[in-house]
């Protein structure tokens, strides 16, 4: 029996619909949420990401601004810009799109963002709030993973969860979110011994390691829920034919486009072994921007009084 597909696009649309109604109510109460996106230089991929984020703001009614410093911007100029945005009351969220130009000290700039407006959830202050289970802004991808589990009615409490990857952006925060929902959590990484055997113990397996199709059937306990965070672009025909040997439509798609996306989980093995799984594309990815919108709304509620009830 094939595994159940967890459709990230459908969950994203559900969340955005809920946010649309919420933002309409906040706007009527005089506190429309606002997001500022800072895009320095001319990185084509970053331009696409920011454009999609601004488009999402428009779709739910969030006020947005795109600020575009030149490629030559200095660290001090970026710090001055962030300081100005910190001081603006109508801006609830500040998004500094990475990578910044090479001469800019990215860490200094990100640390300068007011934690109350850190809608990416990367600031050490917000990480501290997450660890100690206090209200704050949580990194968007981990928050999206939890929404997938919750809205797909995947039990978490009492379950064994294994997280493959220990990044500050995904691995560590999702481990704490799972722990707070009473899962028993193991974090694995490049130095973990017997990696496949440990992964096979998981009821919920989160793959966030950045290696295409590394997680094969040997890593997956039959019937487990597998959340694939990886997004890897393949442009080598031999790799595509090896990984997608059981999916001729994907090989044909590669021949037409010249490249193909694959997650960290083997796409054939997961369908044949897991109980439920997120595909790539169309799984975790769509949730990231919707959770950015949710964080902007949450930031507005945490920052301003009289905006109604805070979303959980």
Contact partners, residue 203, CB within 8 Å, separation at least 6? 159, 160, 161, 221, 224, 225
Same domain? For 50 and 85 the reply is yes
Q: Give how many domains the chain has, as a whole number.
A: 2
SS3 state at 184: strand
Q: What are the pLDDT digits (tens) for 134-148?
A: 999 999 999 999 999
pLDDT for the residue numbered 39: 97
C-alpha atoms less than 13 angstroms from C-alpha of 108 in its C-beta half-sphere:
11
CB 176 within 8 A of CB 126: no
Reply yes or no on whether the pLDDT at 309 is more than 60.
no
Q: Above 70 in pLDDT, residue 113?
A: yes
Annotated active-site residue in 92, 114, 118, 120: 120
Residue 311: per-residue pLDDT: 54
Domain with residue 92: its CATH number is: 3.40.50.10860
pTM of the model: 0.94
**What order do you get walking across the sheet with 34-38 strand by strand?**
63-67, 34-38, 93-96
Catalytic residue list contains 97: yes
- State whether 65 and 164 are in the same domain: no
Element (H, E) at 260: strand 260-262
Residue 237's pLDDT band (cuts 50, 70, 90): very high
Is residue 231 within 8 A of residue 280, CB to CB? The reply is yes
C-alpha 206: how far from its chain's center?
13
What beta strand segments (E) does 43-92 contain?
63-67
Annotated catalytic residue within 53, 117, 172, 298: 53
List of long-range contacts for 177-180, beta carbons under 8 Å, 24+ apart = 177/130, 177/138, 177/142, 177/143, 177/145, 177/146, 178/146, 178/204, 178/206, 180/133
Question: Is 120 part of the annotated catalytic residue set?
Answer: yes
Q: Domain holding 211: CATH number?
A: 3.40.50.720
Q: What is the mean pLDDT of residues 76-95?
A: 97
Reading phi first (left if > 0) and then psi (alpha if -120 to 50, else beta), residue 21 is in: alpha
**What is the full DSSP assignment across 102-122?**
TTS-HHHHHHHS-GGG-TT--
Instruction: Identify how many contiguous H helices and E strands the chain contains and give both numbers.
Output: 12, 11
Give the pLDDT band (50/70/90) at residue 305. Answer: confident
CB-hemisphere CA count at 13 Å for 301? 19
Q: What Cα–Cα distance (Å) separates residue 91 from each residue in 84, 105, 220, 230, 233?
A: 10, 23, 44, 32, 35
- Judge if 100 and 168 occupy the same domain: no
Are residues 108 and 145 part of one domain?
no
Tell me, what's the pLDDT at 285? 94
Pair 40, 109 in one domain: yes
- Residue 209 and residue 172 share a domain: yes
Buried b (16+ CB within 10 A) or exposed e, 82-97: beebeeeeebbbbbbb
Domain-located, residue 124:
no
User: Per-residue pLDDT for 31 more than 70?
Assistant: yes
The 10s digit of each residue's pLDDT in 239-283 is: 999 999 878 999 999 999 999 999 999 999 999 999 999 999 999
Terminal-to-terminal C-alpha distance of the chain: 36
Q: Residue 269 in contact with residue 242, Cβ under 8 Å?
A: no
Percent of the chain with pLDDT over 70: 97
Flag whether pLDDT at 307 surpasses 80: no
Pairing of strands 276-277, 225-228: parallel
Cβ contact 296:53 at 8 Å = no
Domain that holds residue 164: 140-285
Q: Are residues 216 and 83 in the same domain?
A: no
Residue 310 has pLDDT above 70, yes or no: no
Active site residue 264: no
Can you give the pLDDT at residue 247? 87
Is 158 found in the same domain as 109?
no
Is the Cβ–Cβ distance between 289 and 153 less than 8 Å?
Answer: no
User: Do 267 and 165 sit in the same domain of this protein?
Assistant: yes
Residue of 92, 97, 114, 264 marked catalytic: 97
């Amino acid at each position: 029996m094939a595994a159940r597909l967890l459709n990230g696009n459908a969950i994203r649309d559900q969340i955005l619909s809920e946010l649309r109604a919420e933002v309409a109510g906040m706007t009527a109460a005089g506190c429309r949420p606002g997001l500022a996106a800072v895009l320095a230089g001319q990185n084509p991929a970053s331009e696409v990401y920011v454009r999609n984020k601004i488009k999402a703001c428009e779709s739910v009614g969030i006020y947005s601004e795109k600020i575009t410093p030149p490629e030559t911007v200095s660290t001090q100029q970026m710090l001055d810009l962030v300081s100005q945005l910190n001081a603006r009351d109508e801006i609830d969220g500040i998004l500094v799109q990475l990578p910044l130009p090479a001469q800019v000290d990215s860490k200094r700039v990100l640390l300068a963002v007011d934690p109350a407006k850190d809608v990416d959830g990367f600031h050490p202050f917000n990480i501290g709030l997450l660890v100690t289970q206090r209200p704050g802004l949580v990194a968007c991808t981990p928050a999206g993973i939890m929404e997938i589990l919750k809205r797909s009615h995947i039990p978490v409490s009492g379950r064994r969860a294994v997280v493959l990857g220990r990044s500050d952006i995904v691995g560590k925060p999702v481990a704490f979110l799972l722990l707070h929902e009473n899962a028993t959590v193991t974090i694995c990484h490049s130095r973990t011994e017997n990696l496949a055997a440990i992964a096979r113990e998981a009821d919920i397996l989160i793959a966030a390691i950045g290696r295409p199709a590394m997680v094969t059937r040997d890593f997956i306990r039959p019937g487990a829920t597998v959340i694939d965070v990886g997004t890897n672009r393949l442009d080598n025909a031999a790799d595509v034919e090896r990984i997608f040997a059981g999916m001729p439509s994907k090989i044909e798609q590669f021949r037409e486009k010249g490249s193909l996306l694959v997650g960290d989980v083997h796409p054939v093995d997961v369908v044949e072994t897991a109980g439920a799984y997120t595909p790539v594309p169309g799984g975790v990815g769509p949730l990231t921007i919707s959770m950015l919108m949710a964080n902007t709304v949450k930031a507005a509620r945490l920052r301003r009084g009289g905006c109604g009830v805070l979303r959980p």
